[in-house]
Structure 1
Amino acid sequence: MKPSPYTSSFQKLRSNILLVFVSALLYACNSSRVPPKPNVQITLVPASNPGGPVQLDFIGGRANGAKPGEQIVLYARSGIWWIQPFANQPFTKIQPDSTWRNSTHLGTDYAAILVEPGFHPATKVTTLPAEGNGVVAIATSTGKPLAQIVSKVIHFSGYDWRVRNAASDRGGQPNSYDPSNVWTDKNGYLHLRMEEHDGLWTCAEVSLTRSLGYGSYIFVVQDTGHFGPSAALGLYTNDDFRTDNIPGELDIELSRWGIADSKNAQYVVQPFYVPENVSRFTAPAGVLAHMLRWEAGRASFKTVRGSGIGPGAATISEHIFTSGVPTPAKETVHMGLYSYRLTKASSQQPIEVVIEKFEFLP
């Protein structure tokens, strides 16, 4: 029997009503589901080592459910939490596959924080921020229980010096350091060198293994007249592990800071951005002796020709600071050759400096 057109129309209407009902039911089910909360994970955990600023390793993980523009902020704990890898590079990008990876200075614990665009992280904190106010998710991990990394130590002028093997942002940009750029020759002189290793421009730095405190610090340095505009030699005292915001650094710095016709030397009581804390001068070619006399409330600097500070030495420059002079804590002497705003032109030729002697007089 042939169905009537009314029966066919009713069947189509019933099918359409059923389809709309099922669709509405599915939509209601889906809309009732709460989207998963974004989270961050640390899957590549560095070693537990409070070596802090002198050693680096890699850290990595995943950021699930991150929105476009969100990034990772890393911290490592060495006494307090320090932003990683550098204060001027506080963000780690999330890759299209949700993974992230960066370098970090070593600490006892590590934190990865997923943050919204426009978030401004602190460079160091005693307590990690809580979720909210731009913080989307937080992950922490204790460092892996591995043996402490043994640093290269070199003997110079009767003292032991630790050779830097981690990157640093001294000079306003990340600089890599290679221990092979540091050595002593048959005369006992210390050599610091900047050059390219496997396509990477590397610097050199040593720091004394113990603190000396108040007294006279004398550095005898051979000619630095060959320095390009971006090369910088820092002779200074500083506590790498200081956890407060009080500057504790006294500097003798030989550099033109990227300006070819600028004066090439200065004495500094940090912070450098206070005009009264800097005394600029021109250091001539040849061997020079630089001295810092550090006393309570007083830092006296002097540079003379030749290898000795004495009554007959020709004075090149001298300056006395009586404001902002730090008190001794756990500071150590550093001698570092690095680059300030490195350019391709300045990286074409290796640069080397020879330090004949370091002397400390209480």
Structure 2
Amino acid sequence: MLFVAFAVAACKKEGAQSTKATPSNTDTVKKASATIQFSGYTWNIKNTGSSTMGPGPNYWNKDNVWVDSNGWLHLKVSKNTTTNRWECAEVISTQTFGYGTYQWQVDGPLNALDKNVVLGFFNYNGVDGLHEMDIEFARWGVQANQPLNYTIYPASTGNPTFHQTYNFSLDDGTYTTHRFTRTANSVVFKSLGGFYDNDTNLFATSTCAPPYSVSTVSMPVYMNLWLFQGMVPSDNSSVEIVIHSFKFTPL
């Protein structure tokens, strides 16, 4: 049984909670040294070496990303025993996507991630605070915060950010499905218990529509697992999430 306690709507996410963080001038991402094939698409792996970069900022290691023999994508946050640095994971699609349904099927205790850990599925065009659609699992450093976040950053400046949060429990295992469908003027979010292409076991849904502004730009898809403000997990434990599939169905 999956249980949703309640949802909270907000006009915006606080800036400190943004999925992205603009790096300093000294922060550079190493030219993509690795790509992976996952769910029929090619993905670049973020790798910053000894430099940090947002979100966070954090260190990002290509070794914290891999696809196993089942074809499932693993993202990991862990402490590097050589450097004593905590390192994070991110992949970015080489292809851009437009109107349609974006769906992820995920294995992991997403309702119980450490308060400093963030898991994100989103599209983003590289401009912070604009043209972005997020599904995030994060408490933003505060244990009392609700873990499921749906966020839409507007298509142009001067418009509000859409943000809703949800509590949920996973009593029948750690398989969940998450998706959003974007059109020219709306985004519909859904989260379900188990792996389904329909609305079976739906436990959260929300619609962003006018007067909110929705991007019409085609963008790459990002998947990342990282540490809020670069803070180590409060339980000092590594975190690993397994993504069984990503599917895009164009309109």
TM-score, L = length of structure 1: 0.55
Q: Answer whether contact 1:201 1:347 (CA < 8 A) is retained.
A: no
2:142 match: 259
Structure 2: which 5+ residue stretches go unaligned?
A: 1-20
CA 1:275/1:297 → structure 2, altered by over 3 Å: closer, same or farther?
closer
1:183 corresponds to which of 66, 75, 80: 66
What is the one-letter code of the residue matched to 2:85? Answer: L
Is 2:199 aligned against 1:315?
A: no
- Corresponding letter in the other structure for 1:315: L
The CA distance in 1 between the partners of 2:225 and 2:53, in whole Å, is: 12
Following TM superposition, where does structure 1 have runs of at least 4 consecutive aligned residues deviating by more than 6 angstroms?
none
Q: Judging changes above 3 Å, is the alpha-carbon distance between structure 1 residues 206 and 246 closer, same or farther for their aligned structure 2 residues?
A: closer
Aligned residues: 216
**CA distance, structure 2, for counterparts of residue 295 and residue 163 of structure 1:** 28
CA distance in 1, matches of 2:54, 2:37: 26
Instruction: Provide the residue aligned with 1:291 in structure 2.
Output: 179
Hey, what does 1:328 align to over in structure 2? 217
Does the CA contact (< 8 Å) of 2:153 and 2:161 recur in 1?
no
CA-CA distance at 1:246 after TM superposition = 6.8
2:32 & 2:233 partners in 1: Cα distance? Answer: 35
Structure 1 regions of 5+ residues with no counterpart? 1-85, 91-102, 107-147
Shift of 1:225: 3.9
Per the alignment, residue 192 of structure 1 pairs with 75
In the alignment, the residues of structure 2 paired with residue 249 and residue 238 of structure 1 have an alpha-carbon distance, to the nearest angstrom, of 5
Structure 1 residue aligned with 2:88, among 187, 203, 212? Answer: 203
Looking at both structures, which has the greater relative contact order when contacts are Cα pairs under 8 Å and sequence separation is at least 6? Answer: 2
CA distance in 2, matches of 1:158, 1:317: 28
Work out the CA distance in 1 between the residues paired with 2:112 and 2:215: 33
- Report the residue type matching 2:203 in the other structure: I
Alignment CA distance shift 1:104-1:169 (3 Å):
closer
Deviation digits for residues 119-143 of structure 1 (CA, Å, limit 9, x no counterpart): xxxxxxxxxxxxxxxxxxxxxxxxx
CA distance in 2, matches of 1:249, 1:341: 20
Match of 1:353 in 2: 241
Q: CA deviation at 1:239?
A: 1.2
**Which protein has the larger Cα radius of gyration, Structure 1 or Structure 2?**
1
Identity over aligned residues, as a percent?
Answer: 27
Residue 309 of structure 1 and its aligned partner are, at CA, apart by 2.7
Letter aligned with residue 28 of structure 2 = H
**8 Å CA contact retained: 1:263, 1:280:** yes
What is the CA–CA distance in structure 2 between the aligned matches of 1:358 and 1:261, rounded to whole Å?
A: 30
| Contact 2:38 2:73 (8 Å CA) reproduced | yes
Residue identity opposite 2:118 in structure 1: A
1:61: which partner in 2?
none
Distance 1:283-1:235 versus aligned 2 partners, 3 A rule: farther
